[in-house]
Chain A
Amino acid sequence: MDSAFVIEKFILVAVIFGISLVIAMYSTYAERKVAAYLQDRLGPDRAGPFGILQPLADGVKMFMKEEIIPTSSNRFLFIAGPGLALLCACIGTAVIPWGSPVLIAGKTVSLQVADINVGVLYIFGVVSLGVYGVMIGGWASNNKYSLLSAIRAASQNISYEIAMGLSIIALLLMTNTLSLKEIVDQQHGWRWNVLYQPLGFIIFMVCSFAETNRAPFDLPECETELIGGYHTEYSSMKLGFYLFAEYINMFVSSAVMAALYWGGYNYPGMDSMAVWLGPTWAPLFGTAVFFAKICIFIFFFMWVRWTIPRFRYDQLMNLGWKGLIPLAIANIIITGVVIAIIEKF
Chain B
Amino acid sequence: MESLSNKKKVLEQKPLSFMERMYLPAIAKGMGITISHLFKKEATIRYPEVEREFSTNFRGMHSLKRDENGKERCTACGLCALSCPAEAITMIAAERKPEEKDLYREEKYAATYEINMLRCIFCGLCEEACPKEAIYLDGPIVPADYLRKDFIYGKDKLVEAPLEMKK
Contact = CB atoms under 8 A, between A and B. Distances in A.
Query: Do A and B bind?
Result: yes
Interface of A: 36-42, 45, 202, 303-304, 306-308, 319, 323
Interface of B: 21, 23-24, 27, 30-31, 33-35, 37-38, 40-44, 46
B42 A41 contact: yes
A20 to B, nearest CB: 26
Given A41-B43, A41-B44, A307-B27, 15 more contacts: A37-B38, A40-B37, A40-B40, A40-B41, A40-B44, A41-B42, A42-B44, A42-B46, A303-B34, A304-B27, A307-B30, A307-B31, A307-B34, A308-B30, A319-B23
A89 to B, nearest CB: 26
Nearest to B48: A46
Contact of A304 (B31, B37, B40, B41): B31
A80 to B, nearest CB: 37
A37 B30 contact: no
Contacts of B37: 37-40
A94 B31 CA distance: 33
B39 to A, nearest CB: 9
Contacts of A308: 27, 30-31
Contact of A42 (B21, B33, B42): B42
Contacts of A40: 37, 40-44
Contacts of A45: 46
A82 B126 CA distance: 60
Contacts of A319: 23
B42 to A, nearest CB: 5
Nearest to A315: B23
A321 B33 CA distance: 30
B124 to A, nearest CB: 33
Contacts of A36: 42
A40 to B, nearest CB: 5
A304 B28 CA distance: 10
A40 B42 CA distance: 4
Contacts of B40: 40
Contacts of B23: 319
A303 B44 contact: no
B18 to A, nearest CB: 12
Interface centre among B27, B30, B34, B41 (most CB of A within 10 A): B34
A304 to B, nearest CB: 7
A26 B166 CA distance: 50
B133 to A, nearest CB: 42
Closest 10 CB pairs of A and B: A42-B44, A307-B34, A307-B30, A38-B34, A307-B31, A40-B42, A37-B38, A40-B43, A38-B37, A42-B42
Nearest to B41: A40
A247 B157 CA distance: 51
Contacts of A202: 24
B73 to A, nearest CB: 42
A38 B43 contact: no
Nearest to B28: A307
A217 to B, nearest CB: 12
A39 B33 CA distance: 11
Contacts of B41: 40
B46 A37 contact: no
A193 to B, nearest CB: 20
Contacts of B35: 38, 303
9 contacts: A36-B42, A38-B34, A40-B44, A41-B42, A41-B43, A42-B42, A307-B31, A307-B33, A308-B30
Nearest to A304: B31
A41 B38 CA distance: 10
